[in-house]
Amino acid sequence: MTRDLTTGRPMRLILGFALPTLFGLLFQQMYSMVDTMIVGKLLGAQSLAAVGATGSVNFLIIGFCTGVCSGFAIPVAQQMGAGDHEKMRRYVANAAYLSVIFALVMTVATGLLCRRILVAMHTPEDIIDMSYSYIFVIYMGIPVTYLYNLLAGVIRSLGDSRTPVYFLALSSVLNIVLDVTLILAFHLGVAGAAVATVVSQGVSGAACLVFVRRKFPILRISRSERRFQARLCLDLLSMGVPMGLQYSVTAIGSVILQSAVNRLGSLYVAAVTAGSKVTQLLACPFDAMGGAMATYCGQNVGARKLERLGRGVRDCSLLGLVWSCAAFAGMLLLAPYCAMWFIDPRETQVELLTALASRFIVLNTAFFFPLALVNIVRFSIQGMGYSPFAILSGVFEMAARAVVGRVFVPMLGYDAACAASPAAWIAADIFLIPACVWCIRRLRARLTGVLPAPRHTPAPRFRHGNV
């Protein structure tokens, strides 16, 4: 049930690996989309704005969880490529210990601070109570977020991008049923949508755990392999924390931008929420490409096949360009119809709300190729073992969004808010593309013995005869 990404044509391997991951991401997006659609259709624009107002702080915390788990999976992929299965299992065990610690600390901290964060973000008074009831439940589900994402990251590192999809499909159906039941039958409002999301993800994580224990012999960890090892934990932290911070640093810019949008009023918050959900769905292929490149580069670095890195990045970028053009062309025609997925047609300002959301969608999809490069290049760098660069790229994104939120949104209003993400993507690419070239050259220098391996980085064991 594993896959070797170190032999064969990069384009075929990346596409074959990314497609199942894409389906998984689409199911994952369904969690958020179904919540938003049901909330918008059944509870109205105010409730839609309440959920949307939590989007950036949601990403700030949940994005950190996702990034940490993705980083923990990089050493697993490298050891898989190097053929050292015992050490790979040791990394998995220590990643589990670290995930438990992170989950407990973050759940307590976010539960205590989430209302203060919403107040600091100038969340409109007419929606702040609903926003709090939604995000508090989401934060209480942080442990199940770690459970699923760690298991899914490990499985993908072994070359299996299909198994996590099956459980996400199951949980997506469960999420829809729970949404309708908790909102319509039990009248729990936006809190019901949050409970549905947490329970559904918990089911997918638990099912994934049971399946891994039964069907993946390569992950059966012996008692000696379960031992806590500080050095391996340092390796994992050197990969996971920078990736988690990259998400969080990026989210800080989103928080600043969200604060600026909140000042425009709940109508504009609702429009950005609806537009963001559509663009996030359309951007799922880029996330899948990024996940594929992390595993592809990790395995090829572990196998010492560095000549395949550049080819993989180029081939995946071509796939990103094709989808970028297709998405933009589609949204030029269909943006208003897609926006209406989240808007109740009975709203008094439905035409204005639809027009605002459509404007957001079209402008963002026009700059999808820079977003494609952000995902492809960033995850490639992380797969090569240079996760700290993720933080630096996140700083560029944060700075761009912060400048737009602080300076241009007050001056130009909603149009500036629509342009914030494209500005952030371009800023990140200015850093990431040269950084990727530098990383490949540095790895080649290490391979030839010109440079030593960096400290606290789980560098692959370059063995003679691996090439």
Chain segment 328-353, per-residue pLDDT in tens: 999 999 998 888 877 666 666 778 88
- Mean local confidence (pLDDT), 189-204: 88
Q: How confident is the model at residue 74 (pLDDT cuts 50, 70, 90)?
A: confident
- Mean local confidence (pLDDT), 259-269: 81
Between these two residues, 62 and 370, which has the higher pLDDT value? 370
Judge contact between 56 and 130, C-beta under 8 A: no
Distance CA 188, CA 326 (A): 39
CA 276 to chain centre: 14
Distance CA 320, CA 68 (A): 25
Nearest Cα to Cα of residue 167 among 47, 20, 35, 285: 20
Distance CA 186, CA 249 (A): 38
Residue 403 scores a pLDDT above 70: yes
Residue 34 scores a pLDDT above 70: no
Residue 206 lies inside a defined structural domain of this protein: yes
Judge contact between 303 and 466, C-beta under 8 A: yes
Q: List Cβ neighbours of 283 (8 Å cut-off, separation of 6 or more).
A: 368, 371
Judge contact between 160 and 215, C-beta under 8 A: no
Judge contact between 317 and 286, C-beta under 8 A: no
Residue 171 lies inside a defined structural domain of this protein: yes
Least trusted range by pLDDT, from 3-17, 21-35, 99-113: 21-35
Least trusted range by pLDDT, from 18-27, 192-201, 291-300, 359-368: 18-27
pLDDT value of residue 229: 94
Least trusted range by pLDDT, from 172-176, 198-202, 319-323, 427-431: 172-176
Q: List Cβ neighbours of 132 (8 Å cut-off, separation of 6 or more).
A: 114, 115, 118
Q: Is 291 helix (H, G, I), strand (E, B) or coil?
A: helix
Residue 406 scores a pLDDT above 60: yes
The CA-to-CA distance between both ends of the chain, in Å, stands at 24
Q: Which domain holds residue 360?
A: 10-447
Judge contact between 424 and 373, C-beta under 8 A: no
Residue 459 lies inside a defined structural domain of this protein: no
Residue 463 lies inside a defined structural domain of this protein: no
Element counts in the chain: helices (H) and strands (E):
17, 0
How open is the CA angle 362-349-175, to the nearest 5 degrees? 70
pLDDT value of residue 189: 84
Least trusted range by pLDDT, from 33-37, 269-273, 431-435: 33-37
Q: Is the pTM of this model over 0.85?
A: no
Neighbours of 104 (CB within 10 A): 13
Neighbours of 330 (CB within 10 A): 13
**Domain count of the fold of the chain:** 1
Q: List helix spans (H) across 4-54.
A: 10-38, 45-52
- Mean local confidence (pLDDT), 359-385: 92
Distance CA 382, CA 122 (A): 35
pLDDT > 90 in the chain, percent: 30
CA distances from 228 to 84, 92, 101, 233 (A): 18, 11, 13, 8
Q: How confident is the model at residue 449 (pLDDT cuts 50, 70, 90)?
A: low
pLDDT value of residue 35: 65
Q: How confident is the model at residue 461 (pLDDT cuts 50, 70, 90)?
A: very low
Residue 456 scores a pLDDT above 50: no
Between these two residues, 429 and 389, which has the higher pLDDT value? 429
pLDDT value of residue 67: 86
Average pLDDT, the chain: 84
Distance CA 227, CA 231 (A): 12
Residue 405 scores a pLDDT above 50: yes
Residue 464 lies inside a defined structural domain of this protein: no
Q: How confident is the model at residue 268 (pLDDT cuts 50, 70, 90)?
A: confident
Distance CA 385, CA 369 (A): 25
Residue 73 lies inside a defined structural domain of this protein: yes
Distance CA 366, CA 181 (A): 38
Region of 451 on the Ramachandran plot (φ > 0 left; ψ -120 to 50 alpha; else beta) = beta
Residue 62 lies inside a defined structural domain of this protein: yes
Q: Check residue 345 and report its DSSP letter.
A: T
pLDDT value of residue 212: 83
Q: Which helix (H) or strand (E) holds 213?
A: helix 189-215
Residue 316 lies inside a defined structural domain of this protein: yes
Residue 23 scores a pLDDT above 80: no
Distance CA 17, CA 383 (A): 15
